[in-house]
Amino acid sequence: MKKIAFFDSKPYDKESFDRVNNGRYEIKYFETRLSSAALPLLEGCDAVCAFVNAEIDRAVIEGITQRGIKVLAMRCAGYNNVDFAAAYELGLTVVRVPAYSPYAVAEHAMALLMTLNRRLHKAAMRTRDYNFSLVGLTGVDLHGKTAGVIGTGKIGRVFCDICKGLGMRVLAYDAYPNPESGLEFVSFERLLEESDVISLHCPLTPATHHIINRETISKMKDGVLFINTSRGGLVDSDAMLEALREGKLGGAGLDVYEEESEWFYEDRSSITKQNKTLSLLVSMPNVIVTSHQAFLTHEALENIATTTLENLDAYFSGLPLVNEICYRCMGAGAPQGNVAMCPNRVNGRCK
């Protein structure tokens, strides 16, 4: 029986993976994140399973392959935390879960927007103290407003549908627009200028790093509501904080943060030396921060477990790897990790 070293495990992970696994793999669950310090835990294992907050650099990849392990199963869609050049050089196959539940993430993005707009977080805190004043809780009708959606993959398209269901006008921007999507694609600059709400649904790549910065924020409407459920590195956090303080941004709903790996998924309430920018963001009345939980639904957890184990089944059986990502997949020949367009595919695998 093949053994999987499963890192950064939480109770909900173990529940879903044990149910789907049904005994076909021996899964060794570790609460620690995958890192150089955790490499001794890999002894005797055949595969590694990691999450989005692991920093899988060259040293970690060397430690994996030196132990005879040739496959890394990422149980997430994002892969910006993996050194693919090192993986390619050292012969480590990397698979991921490209889509687990676009509805989960898109619905969370809308929940952040509605909560932010109608000040529901503030209202709930007031009524706990028996304060039923409505002063300071005024929002706007989203109906008739313009939503700018950056990134129109599966999640972005579901978010567009939700916005349309509320009667919002939707403008979309994507580096690779799909003309058959029925969306109104515009330039990035026009989206910034015309949107009342801006929501990010694009991957983090060198081209999209800090796509939201002082310059792009300056082109937005005053008072725009900003939502990010994608990747923290898409946003210059200091520029966002400055814009929130100055009122350029009317509010921000954030499920991700660019330095989240040291903070999210754990209880950090007793730590006195905190991240300065994050501390300021969570203290602001027009900011809502959730700890990268947009994916967290029963359906998504089931899909993550199913796809991850199916990826490993295919790898160990010598079958084509439909969810593989390689160094060349990330290049111009295969935009945004589209494995089907990878110029390096042989018999359904990247070589």
Distance from C-alpha of 109 to C-alpha of 252, rounded to nearest angstrom:
11
Per-residue pLDDT tens over the stretch 59-76: 999 999 999 999 999 998
- Residue 276 has a pLDDT of 81
Q: pTM value?
A: 0.86
What structural domains does the chain harbor? 3-100+298-350 (3.40.50.720), 102-289 (3.40.50.720)
292 tagged catalytic = yes
> Which is catalytic among the residues 33, 231, 345, 349?
231
13-61 per-position pLDDT tens digit = 999 999 999 999 999 999 999 999 999 999 999 999 999 888 899 999 9
Alpha helices, DSSP H, located in 119-225 = 120-128, 154-165, 188-194, 214-218
Contact 257, 229 (CB under 8 A): no
Structure token pair of residue 158: 């579901």
Mean pLDDT of the 108-135 span = 95
108 is an active site residue: no
Q: Can you read off the two tokens belonging to residue 259?
A: 């330095």
Q: 201, 153 in Cβ contact below 8 A?
A: yes
- pLDDT confidence band for 340 (50 / 70 / 90): low
Candidates 33, 157, 201, 292; catalytic one: 292
Q: Is the pLDDT of residue 263 over 70?
A: no
Pairing of strands 349-350, 345-346: antiparallel
pLDDT value at position 220?
Answer: 98
Among 106-115, 131-140, 261-270, the range scoring the smallest mean pLDDT is 261-270
Exactly one of 201, 260, 345, 349 is catalytic; which is it?
260
Q: Is the pLDDT of residue 302 over 60?
A: yes
pLDDT tier, 333 (very low <50, low <70, confident <90, very high otherwise): very low
Q: Is 231 a catalytic residue?
A: yes
Percentage with pLDDT > 70 across the chain: 90
Mean pLDDT of 282-305: 93
The answer, yes or no, to whether residue 295 has pLDDT greater than 80, is yes
Q: Name the DSSP class of 79.
A: -
129 pLDDT higher than 50:
yes
